[in-house]
Amino acid sequence: MRSSITQASAPATLSATGVFTDVQNLVVAEGFIPYEMIDPFWSDGAYKTRWMAIPNDGSHNTAAEQIQWSENGDWGFPIGSILVKHFDYPIDDNDPSVTRKIETRFSVKSTDGNFYFLTYKWRPDESDADLVDMTVGDTVTIPVSTVGGGTRNVEWLYPSNTQCISCHNPALGGTLGSRTRSLNKDFDYAEKGGTVGNQLVTLSTLGILNRDYNGYGYSRVFDP
């Protein structure tokens, strides 16, 4: 695991990261667990999909392979943890289900204990996404069809690494949404071969979270 990363050393495309086995359909590689928050945060109307991967040797049974739980504070992610957030933008006010892939963003816990961030900008044909300049970021204009038959434009900002850090403050653990209160809800794990179950119980059952939630009246969702 790197202590830092540069533009030249980072994967230039989303497909080159290896996180997705099928980039266009957003099929994640083994080890990436989907999750969602009770309050997903507002992002200019975009829809978000999230995954996390915690390093392990086949089982999560040491501190280096587990998230350190906190009831009310920040979770402590081990070095090598990867959090992925993908943005789809609704491009038709007449039908909010019509979307366009806009951005996929990575938060990676490095060996110095801090997170670094990679932002990928999707191509217009949605075949892949390209790494945004980590120093200056980027923007894109998204045309959206309106109810009256016209078009309105939405300006989307792809943040630089500095802009990411300004929100994901290292003093606060480097993450925003991964908290006990934010993930204490059910999730449908059908795509991972499971059923609907509580996210905290799932992470506990898999050993990813160093907190035993079994016996708290929640349902177990799928086996490791």
70, two tokens: 């906190």
Distance CA 90, CA 97 (A): 7
Q: Which of 208, 166, 187, 184 is nearest to 76 (CA)?
A: 208
Distance CA 39, CA 30 (A): 26
Look-up of token digits 């999230």: 50
pLDDT tens digits, one per residue of 138-157: 999 999 999 989 999 999 99
Look-up of token digits 């980039």: 23
Q: Which of 224, 20, 11 is nearest to 116 (CA)?
A: 11
pLDDT tens digits, one per residue of 65-98: 999 998 888 899 999 999 999 999 999 999 999 9
Distance CA 223, CA 205 (A): 8
Q: What pLDDT score was predicted for residue 52? A: 95
Mean pLDDT of 132-142: 94
Distance CA 132, CA 31 (A): 25
103, two tokens: 């951005």
| Number of Cβ atoms within 10 Å of the Cβ of 215 | 7
77, two tokens: 């992610």
51, 189 Cβ separation under 8 angstroms: no
- One-letter-per-residue 3-state SS of 106-150: EEEECCCCCEEEEEEEECCCCCCEEECCCCCCEEEEEEEECCCCC
pLDDT tens digits, one per residue of 39-69: 766 678 899 999 999 999 999 999 999 999 9
Mean pLDDT of 202-214: 88
Residue 65 phi, psi dihedral angles, 5° rounding: -120, 15
